[in-house]
Amino acid sequence: MVIPVEQTEPIITTRGLDLFYGETPALNQIDIDILRHRVTALIGPSGCGKSTLLRCFNRMNDLIPSCRVTGSVSYRGENIYAPDVDVVHLRKLIGMVFQRPNPFPKSIYDNVAYGPKVHGVRDKGALDTIVEESLKKAALWDEVKDRLHTPAMGLSGGQQQRLCIARTLAVGPEVILMDEPCSALDPIATAKIETLIEELREQYTVIIVTHSMQQAARVSDYTGFMYLGELIEFGKTEKIFETPDKELTSNYITGRFG
């Protein structure tokens, strides 16, 4: 079942994607088209598989033993599960921001410069530029520009999360995956991240998993509703929230379960 969407230009496409943890199925026949330069939100109750799906896009699931994937996930037309794919390179192009901020125990500067450095940038001037631009894009520059060389652990939770976003941007990805990036943050920090997502859309494709339907409605162009490992409904966010096709979707949206 391919759910029709307004076909502009899909950047990530899955067809018949199944995922198992050992014998337990976690994703069932997922077909989804993620559009370039749009924000796509994945919503659904706990355990519905939305984070699992997100982690398929940059193969972070590879790190989980016993995880098995069938079907296809294509990124710009190439199957990322093909045997000759360089996973390391893939993750450079499809970055990820995690649920809890996970800055490295290094300075703010070194956190952002880490990605470019491991990818071979040695020039100090180039690194300085990347760090500054990344921090600016993550709306953190003004807050940290005077203490770039202090430990990142000293930042507040919301600042740490924006640092993690800056760190991801510094690698120069096309797609940014966000796994409940605000669930560990207070409302003010959340608002800042949401504004940031707004801005990122102009340059990047963002896929965000969120627990908060309000957040999905606020930040996303497209929304996918998942339930028990299946993609129940996918479409423009206004449509999903105002006139969903499926009863399950409308029950979840209106808070009757989940």
**Is 92 a binder of another protein (CB under 8 A)?**
yes
- Report residue 209: phi and psi, to 5°: -95, 130
Minimal CA–CA distance to 49: which of 25, 78, 69, 31?
A: 25
**Is 120 a binder of another protein (CB under 8 A)?**
yes
**Minimal distance in Å, beta carbon 72 to another protein?**
13
**Is 93 a binder of another protein (CB under 8 A)?**
yes
Distance CA 52, CA 54 (A): 5
- Report residue 117: phi and psi, to 5°: -65, -45
Q: Which of residues 143-182 bind another protein (CB under 8 A)?
A: 153, 164, 167-168, 171-172, 174
Span from 19-27, 41-49, 117-125, 235-243 in contact with another protein (CB under 8 A): 117-125
Letters for 129-148 (x = contact with another protein by CB under 8 A, - = none) are xx--x---------------
**Is 89 a binder of another protein (CB under 8 A)?**
yes
**Is 255 a binder of another protein (CB under 8 A)?**
no
203 close to 30: Cβ distance less than 8 angstroms: no
Strand arrangement of the beta sheet that strand 39-43 belongs to: 94-97, 175-179, 205-209, 39-43, 222-227, 230-236
Span from 111-119, 180-188, 212-220, 239-247 in contact with another protein (CB under 8 A): 111-119
**Is 95 a binder of another protein (CB under 8 A)?**
yes
C-alpha distances in angstroms, 258 versus 48, 56, 253? 10, 23, 9
**Is 243 a binder of another protein (CB under 8 A)?**
no
Closest to another protein by CB, 142 or 202? 202
Minimal CA–CA distance to 111: which of 144, 81, 62?
A: 144
Closest to another protein by CB, 208 or 240? 208
**Is 103 a binder of another protein (CB under 8 A)?**
yes
Computed on alpha carbons and rounded to an integer, the radius of gyration of the chain in Å comes to: 18
Residue of 86, 146, 188, 255 that binds another protein (CB under 8 A)? 86
Distance CA 112, CA 187 (A): 25
3-state secondary structure of 102: coil
Binding positions for another protein, rule: CB under 8 A: 58, 60, 63, 65, 75-78, 80, 82, 84-86, 88-93, 95-96, 98, 100, 102-106, 114-121, 123, 126, 129-130, 133, 153, 164, 167-168, 171-172, 174, 202-204
